[in-house]
Amino acid sequence: GSSLRRLIWALAIMGACIGFSLHLAELAQRYLSYPVSTEFSNEGADFQFPTVTICPTDNFVDFCQPVPLFIPMNYFRCLQDMVLDNNRVYKLLGSENWNASLRVFPYNYYHHGRLSLRAVAYRGNLFQQPYETVLYCRYNSQPCSFENFTTYKDEEGLMCISFTPTNRTIVNAGPGNGLYLVLHHVTENYLTDEEQIDYVPGFQVALHES
């Protein structure tokens, strides 16, 4: 009777504790493994400098934009207003000048907060722009700038920037040569604590041929 019930309870609690510990260990492991740095060296004479694409690992860095509203005090609205402001966001997304290859009905995204904000960010052009991201650029010992970057939208809908050098022949390899960048990334984001384990604010860099 009651001792069997107690045994079942004890097993259940023990199971929960084990599950919790395993989960925690897994999260800690993932957390501890996040800083990944890649070293790249070149010895070959016919080396062609790759195209460098840089994507943020989180998003929504410009939060506020001016909107024409009837109430004079609300000239600026921000992404974080969205949850309080579904009607307005819905109306904005339905208006004709928002340019995005995403579904028209924003409510489709509301089960997925990150995606819905991303949709809004695209339509509102609220991503950090190259001139905000690229603070310093030097390529082949020559200055370059945000103007040497093109923007592109990756599969996840993030805004990435790509550096495509006009001349791919590098004079000097080694630290400080090749492509040297100082980037700025506003790290404020809209992720839950758990999501932040997977999406550490920062950049991902991909090198590719064209």
Q: How far is the CB of 46 from ligand NAG (least distance, A)?
A: 12
Q: How far is the CB of 67 from ligand NAG (least distance, A)?
A: 18
Residues in contact with 172: Cβ distance below 8 Å, sequence separation at least 6, in sequence order: 141, 178
Q: How far is the CB of 161 from ligand NAG (least distance, A)?
A: 13
The pair of three-digit structure tokens given for residue 183, joined into one six-digit string: 């980037």
By C-beta, is 29 or 95 nearer to ligand NAG? 95
Q: Applying CB under 6 A, does 53 fall inside the site for ligand NAG?
A: no
> Cβ–Cβ contacts within 10 Å for residue 87, how many?
8
- The single residue among 28, 171, 182, 206 that binds ligand NAG, judged by CB under 6 A, is 171
- The single residue among 42, 125, 167, 204 that binds ligand NAG, judged by CB under 6 A, is 167
The closest alpha carbon to 203, from 183, 175, 189, belongs to 183
Site for ligand NAG in 130-149 (CB under 6 A): 139, 144, 147-148
Find the DSSP H helices in the chain. Answer: 2-32, 86-94, 113-123, 130-133, 193-198
Q: How far is the CB of 179 from ligand NAG (least distance, A)?
A: 8
The closest alpha carbon to 188, from 117, 120, 124, 119, belongs to 117
> At residue 15, what is the residue type?
G
Q: Which stretch binds ligand NAG (CB under 6 A): 64-72, 73-81, 163-171, 192-200?
A: 163-171
- Cα-based distances in Å from 54 to 57, 76, 100, 155: 10, 29, 21, 14
By C-beta, is 58 or 126 nearer to ligand NAG? 126
Quick note: the x/- pattern for ligand NAG over 94-133, rule CB under 6 A, is: -----x----------------------------------
The pair of three-digit structure tokens given for residue 162, joined into one six-digit string: 């790509």
Q: What residue ranges bind ligand NAG (CB under 6 A)? A: 99, 139, 144, 147-148, 165-167, 169, 171
